[in-house]
Each structure stands twice: as C-alpha cells, then as structure tokens.
Amino acid sequence: MPIKVVDQLPAVGALSAENVFVMTESRAASQDIRPQRIAILNLMPDKITTEIQLLRLLANTPLQVDVELLRLDDHKSKHTPESHLNCFYRYFSQVTAEKYDGLIITGAPLGLVDYADVTYWDQLEGILSWADSHVTSTLFLCWAAHAGLYHYYGLQREIRGEKLSGVYPQQLTQPLCPLVRGFDDQFWVPHSRYAQVPKQRFTQHDELHILAESDQTGPYLLQNSSGSRVFVTGHPEYDVNTLAEEYQRDLVSGLTPKLPENYFPHDDPKQQPLKLWQSHAFLLFSNWLNYYVYQATPFDIGLIGQK
C-alpha cells in the first residue's frame, strides 16, 4: 500500500516520476482500511526537499500510511514559501489533542548552537513530552536524535574538531533486533554533523541499545527497550547529491570544508557520486513502520498512551 498525502503536495509529482506509489486523499477515501497515521515535524530549512526524501522512504511498505506535516508555532521558515506551509502544514498547537501511530522529527542546521539558545527549544521539549502519551513510536534524525537523547537521558553532545561529512560504513552490533532485520553486517550511511555523543555515555542507561556504529561516526542507530524511541544520528534519507550541495554551499559561504569522505569517485568533486545507502534506508523505515508502529499500535488510535 502507498503513502497518502494531500493531492496538490509538490512531492506527489516528484515521487511519481520515480515510480514511487503515492495515493492522494481523493483516491484513499474509497478504501476501507485503518491507515497508519504518521506525523512529520519538519525542522529542515528546505522543507520541500525533505518532504520528498522522507515520503520516498515511507512509501516503500505494504502498509497504507497517512502522512501529516507539522510545523512549529511562532517560527518563520526562511527557505520555504509561506504559501506552501499554509497549504500543507499544520501548526503543532492544532494537533495537541490528536494521536499518531508514528512521529518523525527531522534534523536541523543547529549543530553548533547550544540547546538553551535554540529559539524553539522550549516548544520542542514540550513536543517530546507530548509524544510520550500521544505517539506509539518516534523516529529522531540527526540533530533531533541528539536533542532527544539530551531531553530524555541528559546525554550531552560534544562538538567535534571538524565537521563529520561523508558516507561511512556502519557495523551491526545487535543483528537480531527487529529494527535491523535483513540488514547486511556492514552498510553505508551519509553523515553531516558537527557533534556527537561519546559512546561511553550510553552505558549509563540500560534502556538504550546501540544497534549499529562505526569508529568514524560513533553510535549511528539506537533505540530504547520498547522501540518507542528510535535515534538515527546520520542521514539515511539524503539524496545522492545532498552532500555535494552542502559542500558547494560551504565553499560559496567562504568556508574551507573538507571533501566529504567516501563520496565522490576518486575524491574528485567533478564526478557524480554513487548512492550506496538507499536499500538500507528503505529497510530501516520499513522495519520501523512494521515492528515499532504497526505491530505496536492499537487498532483504536484513541487508546495510544493508555496503560
């Protein structure tokens, strides 16, 4: 089954061109089925690109997924037209009484900003507390993963000496976990961040489990014991050219970024990169939707959060 989105969402055309099955609201209305309600809190500046990346991954499942796009209250986006946000997004304050089978919180370009200095930090903490009783499972990506680890477990990140940028091999550490079912022993994932949480700090929390990691990136994929919180410190959703665009953007900004590692063929930025992580990304989202959303959520969505 496909994802279900608003008919006019720009991502529909982009994904249809890739032969990704997307069902619009008008067609889904004829189906008698309980779809999985997934909310996406999109914190990325270019929200339209992130929508396409995430919807592509959510579409690769036999489940019907009803996607709702959320935005923060009192926060202006500088890189996405207000008309797009007004048409396709709901403010979080409008959905506080609703419940969702799953929630995805994206990364944000805040790798060098202290949490206390993030303008919307208080609201984000409120959303995380709300999710505990209104969402079956939350998936945190990159900056949001570190923010979630700090909010729930007090795990403070450390700023690296230089930005971690590139595509890195990850090693499975708990291959029998449902979230990584079907994964190869080693797989590739893009990373683009300035911070990381040292591995030894996770040992203070028996509830946290590292499922995949590498020496270069540190822990990549973590979850709590129940699977209600999944933390992904990389960017499996990235397009093939995303790291190249970030590299060129930093150059234009007057920075001296390192070439993304394991990315350009022969480390030549004039050559087209290969996408080495797509199958892993599809499987990660499919496993999350199946084992930690669909299998864990009650049929009556109103019962989410009840003991």
Q: Are 138 and 100 in contact (CB under 8 A)?
A: no
Altogether, the residues listed in the chain come to a count of 307
Considering the candidates 134, 209, 235, 280, report the single residue annotated as catalytic.
Answer: 235
Query: Was 26 annotated as part of a binding site?
Result: no
The CA distance from 286 to 292, in Å, is 10
Asked if residues 102 and 293 have their Cβ atoms less than 8 Å apart, the reply is yes
Report DSSP letters for 1-51, one per residue.
Answer: --EEE-TT-HHHHHHHHTT--EEEHHHHTT--S--EEEEEE--SSSHHHHH
**Residue 163 marked in a binding site:** yes
Question: Could you count the other beta carbons within 10 Å of the beta carbon of residue 298?
Answer: 13
Catalytic residue among 51, 68, 213, 237: 237
Active site residue 82: no
- Catalytic pick among 68, 142, 246, 280: 142
Is 228 part of any known ligand binding site? Answer: no
Closest CA to 208 of 216, 219, 194: 219
Q: Is 125 a catalytic residue?
A: no
> What are the φ and ψ backbone dihedral angles of 256, each rounded to 5 degrees?
-120, 70
Answer yes or no: 75 catalytic.
no
Known binding residues are: 163, 192, 249
Q: Which residues are catalytically annotated?
A: 142, 235, 237
Known binding residues for substrate are: 163, 192, 249
